[in-house]
Structure 1
Amino acid sequence: MPCSDHIRVHTTTLGGTASNVVVANVVHGLMSMTATYSWVPKPVPDEQAFEAIRSGVDALQPGVKMVLNSSQFYGMGWTTANLELLSRFFERYPDYADRTFLMVKGGFNVAKNRVDNSPENLRHSVHACITALRGTKKMDVFQPARIDKLCTIEETMKTLVELKNEGKFNHIGLSECAAATLRRAHAVHPITIVEIEVSVTSYEEEARKVLASAAELGVAVAAYSPLCHGLLCGAVTKREDLDPHDVRNLLSRFREGNLQNNLAIAGAIRSIAANRGYTPAQLCIAWVASLGEKVLPLPGSTRKERTLENLAAGQITLVEDEKSEIARAMETYPVHGGRYYDDAEADAVLWG
């Protein structure tokens, strides 16, 4: 693609040992490309997935990397299908390895069906990820997917530092951690990026604390589900829109009663976006990006058109009137239900 066709996206640098890495300020989430739990019924064809990835990378100005977000278990039955897809992509397009920054979550023990950040399981997890990538791309960041309450964060970090020093991956990240945990981890070794859920419907007190701590420490934040699993962009307008096997049927905010109430905030976002000439998804992504210099919205995309729409949102700088209008909508139409469970208190157990 000629330089004149590059999108002049907003860029930022990451944190910790990757503070010199310049990236687009919107992450490309890859989870939906492979049949993961019940989020998607079947894998996306390779050609479609490859086009979606390449379009985002090709749109960037020279020297800017696209952050790709994957996992050891983004495949039906907790398999490495997502990383295997990436290995096929990099085998076909090896030049893209240096133009992307790969985040990989792991640390889940499939046999025990639980988070397991013991030294043995972290080593097993990292090995599984490296095996799935088949030497096509080194993991830029490895991050435990959740904080293991059976291990101290200092013990977890000790293992991660050992693995990093052995050359298994380049940088250390965290996911779904509390602010205090981030500070303790960062004291052991600089954290490059932390992944948490942030959206106009997921802006809880602990999320705000993590954002503040990360900004103070110079740590980047990958803010996943900026569209509340499709609710905020109009993908779901009633319960009947969900396939009976869709995992969102189990999420508190999509349950009968809660969904009807939450459609009010979704409608308000659509109205604001329409008045401003944005798509609802772009408005939500831009709002998340406005929360900090190193806050990177992490929407998923399986199609070229969606990838480019998401990237274009990264060019939007919301003015104060727009932020105020969104804040009023959030106050007027408070979200009903927790991120996963029935209320916010139950969800608090997710913060490690």
Structure 2
Amino acid sequence: MSNIEQRKLGSQGLTVSQIGLGCMGMTVFTSGMEVYGASDESEAIATLHRSLELGVSFLDTADTYGPNLNERLIAKAVAGKRHRYTIATKFGYEIDADEQLTWQINGKKSYVKSAVERSLRALNTDYIDLYYMHRLDPNTPIEETVGAMSDLVKEGKVKYIGLSEVGSDTIRRAHAVHPVTALQSEYSIFERSIEEEGIIDTLNQLGIGLVAYSPLGRGYLTGSIQREQDLPPGDFRRNMPRFQGDQLMKNVTLANALGEMAKEKGISPAQLAVAWVLANGHVPIPGTRKVKNLEQNVAAAAVKLSMEDMRKLESIVPIGAVHGERYDATSMSIVGK
């Protein structure tokens, strides 16, 4: 029996399962780049089916993943049951006519309108539950991008809109054009910069929900990473400072200390990490393509953390304790703006 409940996401009327499923790793990210190792379609589809059985109906994807391969996989998995899932996808990184990523961010009105049509076709649906701007286009006013997203709501192609990895000023400006339902940002006991920067305070003031991606610290908080060789060849994490050299080993030490606390509580490190995000009132979307990992993550909904537990967790990994940036310099330059 699943312990998954429904949770209001933001204040615009969207309700989602309290834990979602991050689908990025279910397909190749782009040519030659794996995410968390090789993917297997049948295993991924089995995981998507099992998620619904467990009450995890909130799926997270993006047109970037593949490109569009991830959306097509989800379409295949949810066929005949689309109405039972809440599907979130994203646009922003430009995809050309040959379905190749250009790595340029495009938030222009004309591009938003073409991007949504491509995602609707890939997902084999006539509406998207939650449509995010994946990253802010520095060359297009946020008002233009969100104005185009607002048009999609009026046209019935999108139910709710969201933003991803932006700062408080952008959130406020966007929300003034059309009510924003959710912000998706990296958030875990390992990554709390949105707390430091006052972004969570802004969300609370405006009634916007937080969808926390990488709540397992991109694998650190599962206890599965003990050395660099634990990252598969070609894994994109090898390009992240947080997973390199001495910084990796220092972070492993922190993660292992959390693992000890999990052991004392009789739960897995992953369950402790997901439970921490839930206890803070947010919606975590741990990514996996394996049924056994999904089941373990879902069990976190039954974990109740006391105030003392929360204090202990946050003393083991205080804000700013993790070593290394979470992205390379280029990618860091476009988050939190």
The normalised TM-score by structure 1 is 0.88
What is the CA deviation profile of residues 109-137 of structure 1, one whole-angstrom value per residue up to 9, with x for unaligned ones?
134421111112111211110111223x6
Any conservation in 1 of the 2:134–2:164 contact (CA below 8 Å)?
A: yes
CA contact (8 A) 1:197 1:207 kept: no
Candidates 58, 63, 67, aligned match of 1:67: 58
Q: 1:81 matched to which residue of 2?
A: 69
Q: In the alignment, what sits opposite 2:136? A: 147
When structure 1 is superposed on structure 2, of 319-328 and 36-45 the one drifting more is 36-45
Which deviates the most, 324-333 or 225-234?
324-333
Change in 2 beyond 3 A, CA 1:270/1:207: same
Q: Does 1:120 align with 2:110?
A: yes
Q: Which residue is 1:329 aligned to? A: 316
Are 1:299 and 1:310, in contact at CA under 8 Å, matched by a contact in 2? yes
Conserved in 2, the CA contact under 8 Å of 1:12 and 1:22? yes
Distance 1:57 1:107, change over 3 A: same
AA aligned opposite 1:318: L
Deviations 1:228-263 (A, max 9, x none): 110121221101112231111110111111001111
Which one of the candidate residues 14, 30, 38 is aligned to 2:23? 30
Q: CA deviation at 1:9?
A: 2.2
Deviation string, structure 1 residues 70-110 (Cα, Å, up to 9, x no partner): 111211xxx2101111111222xx1x322211100112113
In structure 1, distance between residues paired with 2:16 and 2:142: 28
- Which residues of 2 match residues 202-213 of structure 1 at below 5 A? 202-205=191-194, 209-213=198-202
Judge conservation of contact 2:184–2:211 (CA < 8 Å) in 1: yes
- Aligned partner of 1:280 in structure 2 is 269
The aligned runs of 1:157-236 (5 Å cut-off) are 157-205=146-194, 209-236=198-225
Q: CA deviation at 1:206?
A: 5.5
Out of 202-211 and 24-33, give the one that drifted further: 202-211
What is the match of residue 238 of structure 2? 249
Report % sequence identity: 28
CA displacement 1:168-223 (0-9 Å, x = unmatched)? 21111111111221122112111111100001221015665222221222211110
Q: Aligned partners of 2:194, 2:152: CA distance in 1, in Å? A: 33
**Which residue of 64, 72, 83 corresponds with 1:98?**
83
**CA distance 1:197–1:207, change in 2 (3 Å):** farther
Between the aligned partners of 1:170 and 1:29, the Cα distance in structure 2 is 20
Instruction: Report whether the alignment pairs 1:55 with 2:46.
Output: no
What letter matches 2:324 in structure 1? G
Deviation (angstroms), 1:315: 2.7
Does the alignment pair 1:13 with 2:4? no
Root-mean-square deviation over aligned CA pairs? 2.1
Contact conserved, 2:136 with 2:334, CA < 8 A, in 1?
no
Taking the aligned partners of 2:39 and 2:277, their CA distance within structure 1 comes to 28
Consecutive unaligned residues of structure 1, counting only runs of 5 or more, are none
CA contact (8 A) 1:31 1:300 kept: yes
Amino acid at match of 1:298: I
Alpha-carbon separation, structure 2, partners of 1:99 and 1:66: 7
1:179–1:206 CA contact under 8 A, matched in 2: no
Matching residue's letter, 1:261: K
In the alignment, which residue of structure 1 is the partner of 2:256?
267
Aligned to 2:304: 317
